[in-house]
């Protein structure tokens, strides 16, 4: 990662909690902030050999990618090195499709990507990005992933399209009813999954409960799960118990620190402590 990009990511992580709180709870500030974004962000960018259409009002993925030139660089690099032609990749919380685009190229026409994204605006951009880059090996599922199939309430952010949540955040958010599905329900019992990435703003434990068959398979997938302790706690999860439970199922853990572009093997307890100290990181889980 270039020095300027590294500094940007570190600053964004340091300042984001305060900025997020102000934008969440102040409609005038949110209005001003979103309109400033419209002036400085582009509707389409070139990234990693792909043409990517983006939401110019998004303080999340769009802002980070266009300001730094990167997005979750250590996680992306690991996936690129690990995914091979013919593999199956599942993208839970696909947003506009950065991980899905990367994976579609890596697994090739003999492999497949399943991209789960519940928000209609994100899903429209996701489909557009897949189509304009010529991929036919991606299936978009416009549903949230949960512990069971049915419906759920989505609380939509007005300034960060990656921060829609399935639990109440503030009274100012728009609430809509959407479809949800468990991964064990969606995939047939004989479907092999090689890698699964999950980034769903604190709802990861609930989604994980709906994939018991998948993670207990003879060859279970590698997992890349976002660990954002604050959001997990708001969703009713104890981060230490959640990742500790995965570890006890036989998974070895590594901290994927995208801000420092590093992957470091460590216990689940140490990884979660790092995330408490640094707000958020991904945790790589590989069955031993």
Sign of torsion over alpha carbons 82, 88, 133, 34 = negative
Tell me whether residue 191 is in a domain. yes
Q: What is the pLDDT at residue 219? A: 94
Which has the closest alpha carbon to 213: 250, 241, 243, 183? 183
Tell me whether residue 75 is in a domain. yes
Q: What is the pLDDT at residue 54? A: 97
Distance (Å, whole) CA 42 – CA 83? 30
Longest dimension (CA), the chain: 53
Q: What is the pLDDT at residue 4? A: 46
Q: Which residue has the tokens 């512990």?
A: 147
Tell me whether residue 53 is in a domain. no
Residues of the chain with pLDDT under 70: 1-17, 21
Domain with 92, as residue range(s), is 70-287
Instruction: Render pLDDT for 35-67 as a digit per residue (tens, 0 to 9).
Output: 888 899 999 999 999 999 999 999 899 998 998
Q: What is the pLDDT at residue 260? A: 84
Enclosing H/E stretch for 113 = strand 112-116
Distance (Å, whole) CA 249 – CA 222? 13
pTM for the full model?
A: 0.92
Tell me whether residue 147 is in a domain. yes
State phi, psi for 69 to the nearest 5 degrees: 85, 0
Q: What is the pLDDT at residue 1? A: 46
Tell me whether residue 272 is in a domain. yes
Q: What is the pLDDT at residue 3? A: 46
CATH number for 176: 3.40.50.150
Which has the closest alpha carbon to 215: 181, 249, 266, 252? 249
Which has the closest alpha carbon to 223: 195, 243, 249? 195
Q: What is the pLDDT at residue 10? A: 63
The domain total for the chain is 1
Distance (Å, whole) CA 281 – CA 87? 25
Tell me whether residue 163 is in a domain. yes
If 0-12 CB within 10 Å is exposed, 13-18 middle and 19+ buried, where does residue 206 land? buried
Distances (CA, A) of 217 to 22, 212, 288: 44, 9, 13
List the alpha helices (DSSP H) in 160-249.
183-186, 204-209, 212-215, 229-234, 239-248
Which has the closest alpha carbon to 258: 4, 81, 13, 47? 13
What is the SS3 assignment for 146?
Answer: coil
Tell me whether residue 46 is in a domain. no
Instruction: Render pLDDT for 7-36 as a digit per residue (tens, 0 to 9).
Output: 566 666 666 667 776 777 788 888 888 888
Q: What is the pLDDT at residue 141? A: 98
Distance (Å, whole) CA 118 – CA 180? 8
Q: What is the pLDDT at residue 151? A: 97
Tell me whether residue 16 is in a domain. no
């Amino acid at each position: 990662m270039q020095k300027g990009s590294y500094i940007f990511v570190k600053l964004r992580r340091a300042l984001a909690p305060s900025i997020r709180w102000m934008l969440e709870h102040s409609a005038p500030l949110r209005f001003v902030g979103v309109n400033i974004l419209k002036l400085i962000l582009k509707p389409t960018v070139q990234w990693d050999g792909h043409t990517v259409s983006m939401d110019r009002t998004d303080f999340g993925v769009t802002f980070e990618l266009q300001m730094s030139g990167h997005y979750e660089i250590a996680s992306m690099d690991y996936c690129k090195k690990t995914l091979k032609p013919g593999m199956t990749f599942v993208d839970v919380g696909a947003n506009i499709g950065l991980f899905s685009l990367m994976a579609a190229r890596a697994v090739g026409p003999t492999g497949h990507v399943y991209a789960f994204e519940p928000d209609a605006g994100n899903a429209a951009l996701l489909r557009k990005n897949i189509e304009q880059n010529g991929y036919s090996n991606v299936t978009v599922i416009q549903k949230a992933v949960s512990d069971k199939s049915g419906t759920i309430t989505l609380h939509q952010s007005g300034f960060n399209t990656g921060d829609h949540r399935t639990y109440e955040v503030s009274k100012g958010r728009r609430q809509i009813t959407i479809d949800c599905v468990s991964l064990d329900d969606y995939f047939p019992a004989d479907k092999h999954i090689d890698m699964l990435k999950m980034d769903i703003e604190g709802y990861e434990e609930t989604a994980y409960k709906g994939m018991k068959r998948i993670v207990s398979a003879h060859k279970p997938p590698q997992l890349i799960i976002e660990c954002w302790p604050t959001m997990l706690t708001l969703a009713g999860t104890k981060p230490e118990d959640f990742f500790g439970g995965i570890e006890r199922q036989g998974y070895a853990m590594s901290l994927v620190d995208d801000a420092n572009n590093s992957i470091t093997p460590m216990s689940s307890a140490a990884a979660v402590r790092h995330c408490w100290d640094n707000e958020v990181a991904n945790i790589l889980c590989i069955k031993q």
